[in-house]
Amino acid sequence: LFCNDHLTCGANADATFTYSQVPLVASEARAAYDLLTKNNTSLAGREELNRTITEWFTSRRGGFDQTRSEVPVIVNAPGTGKTTLLLSLATALEILISSDDTSEKRPVVVAFTYNTDMAESIPHKLLWPDADEDQRIKRCVALRMLYGALRSMGCSGVKTWPEVLMNLQAGGLAAAIQDPAWALRILEAWFGTEREFVVAADELLKGVTERKEAATTKQIATQLHSLMDYSGRHVILSAMDASLINSGMSNRQPLFLPFGHLEYADVEAHMKTTLEMDPTKMPTAENAWKLRAIYAMSSGHARTLSKIVRAVKTTATSDTRDNKRKPPLDSIIAARFWGSLPGRSEGRRRFT
């Protein structure tokens, strides 16, 4: 169902978290997000954030009632860095578990989304016509978990999400899909029974408003944070909706996590390289101003930064008035610079 060749896909006890293959990030934005894997990348408030997640993890390991453990939640508007923070936290938690003396093996990371590489909706009414709403919600979450785990754990030959959905319909395999707890049992069969799980779910609100796989984000969130009732199963949620935790039916409370952003020093080399500049050389005064303007427009958020840099490069390379090839920033004069940026009206107000 999921891989071109199940014998060679690598879903086994030796598989480890592979950041570069998580399905949360579109390929064109990968370079910007990859900054988070570098040791010198600085997120504002990173120390406080790491301390918060470490204390949360320690409390779960220290015998705290698993059914009352808080759920780490990232909530904010679009383009404000939710996915960036979610990936950073999943990576940090994976390292925490791997370095813990009581952990024999590295955890299985189950990172999935309702966006980007997994944007296509599951045709749940067609796949499970006799199931009720609650059953279909459970099966949709379970299916996304399985696919997200295979991608996150670096398995090879994993099919695209649309291919998986097509095969699920054509092959009559939908009846086998059950619920998130069942999905973890399947993952234990694939990756080993002695491993902990880090479930990182992104864009839950889109699962409701765009994918139509649930009526509320609470329905999706409950399916996920209920997995935390057992030790060794850790869940982090991200959405634009603050009403994630079903407090009326659960002892759990949300642990809202603070936001951070990339510092200019961390993204300067990336911007220069993308815009065909020598990252080792000092830019001209005008180009230095342009680089700073690009960073300011992004507010230090990886996805926004990537979009702006691509827009600048596209605008520059599409300008054929000068036959002599110049680096993108050099080919855009200051007077036309704002016109090449997304959200330019807001940016012009900020800098004039």
Q: How does pLDDT run across 67-100, given as a tens digit for each residue?
A: 888 999 988 767 677 888 888 889 889 999 998 8
pLDDT by residue (tens digit) across 132-149?
A: 999 999 999 999 999 999
- Looking at residue 260, what is its pLDDT? 61
In this structure, what token pair is assigned to residue 214?
Answer: 């649930």
Phi–psi pair at 340, nearest 5 degrees: -90, -5
Phi–psi pair at 8, nearest 5 degrees: -115, 5
Other beta carbons within 10 Å of 273: 13
Residue 64 clears pLDDT 50, i.e. is over it? yes
- Looking at residue 220, what is its pLDDT? 94
Residue 223 clears pLDDT 50, i.e. is over it? yes
pLDDT by residue (tens digit) across 334-343?
A: 655 666 666 5
Percentage of residues of the chain with pLDDT beyond 70 = 82
Phi–psi pair at 17, nearest 5 degrees: -55, 125
Residue 297 clears pLDDT 60, i.e. is over it? yes
The answer to whether 97 and 103 have CB atoms below 8 angstroms apart is yes
The lowest-confidence range among 49-63, 177-191, 226-240, 254-268 is 254-268
- Looking at residue 346, what is its pLDDT? 41
pLDDT by residue (tens digit) across 146-172?
A: 999 999 999 999 999 999 999 998 888
Is the pTM value of this prediction over 0.85? no
The lowest-confidence range among 36-50, 231-245, 266-280, 319-333 is 36-50
Residue 347 clears pLDDT 80, i.e. is over it? no
Residue 39 clears pLDDT 60, i.e. is over it? no
- Looking at residue 345, what is its pLDDT? 42
- Looking at residue 127, what is its pLDDT? 96
Q: What's the rounded mean pLDDT across residues 273-291?
A: 91
Q: What is the DSSP letter of 320?
A: -
Q: What's the rounded mean pLDDT across residues 252-261?
A: 79
Q: What's the rounded mean pLDDT across residues 49-69?
A: 85
Q: How many helices (DSSP H) and strands (DSSP E) are in the chain?
A: 15, 5
- Looking at residue 35, what is its pLDDT? 61
Distances (CA, A) of 26 to 83, 176, 205, 307: 11, 29, 18, 11
Q: What is d(CA 327, CA 335) in angstroms, rounded to the nearest whole number?
A: 17
Residue 348 clears pLDDT 70, i.e. is over it? no
Phi–psi pair at 238, nearest 5 degrees: -135, 135
